[in-house]
Amino acid sequence: QVHPVESGGGSAQAGGSLRLSCVGFRITDEMPRCMAWFRQAPGTEREGVASLDRSVRSTLYPASVKGRFTISESNNKDTMYLQMNDLVPDDTGVYYCVARPGPCNWPIKLKDFEDFDWGQGTQVTVSS
């Protein structure tokens, strides 16, 4: 099994930025096809905040983060990023990266990724 490792979390003021990184997937040009970031705030279900379909090079974001978050991968494809700008307190949570071999679906649903490997996550705390 390959468990991804997330990093880059921390504390930020509202309006600030953080960039999360994720390494550990076995990456080829084609696989995994769909890579995604999820977050989980205390007492809530894990929610998808960004996905990247590596085959068609499309990205998807829910309305809550669209225009503020950007998912990308490094040129050598060994690292996935989540650039988070204009942070708000509701962005607080533990952030996880995950990947699956199939295409990305909309909305970004937890059950589409439940059978795949998850890391420990990285904590993001945004204060007002």
Residue 46 CA to residue 26 CA, distance in Å, equals 24
What is the tens place of the pLDDT at every residue in 21-42? Answer: 999 988 787 789 999 999 999 9
pLDDT value at 6 more than 80: yes
Pair of tokens at residue 93: 């949570």
Q: How many residues does the chain have?
A: 128
Average pLDDT value for the chain: 95
| pLDDT of amino acid 1 | 63
What is the tens place of the pLDDT at every residue in 85-123? Answer: 999 999 999 999 999 999 999 999 999 999 999 989 999
Residue 112 CA to residue 128 CA, distance in Å, equals 33
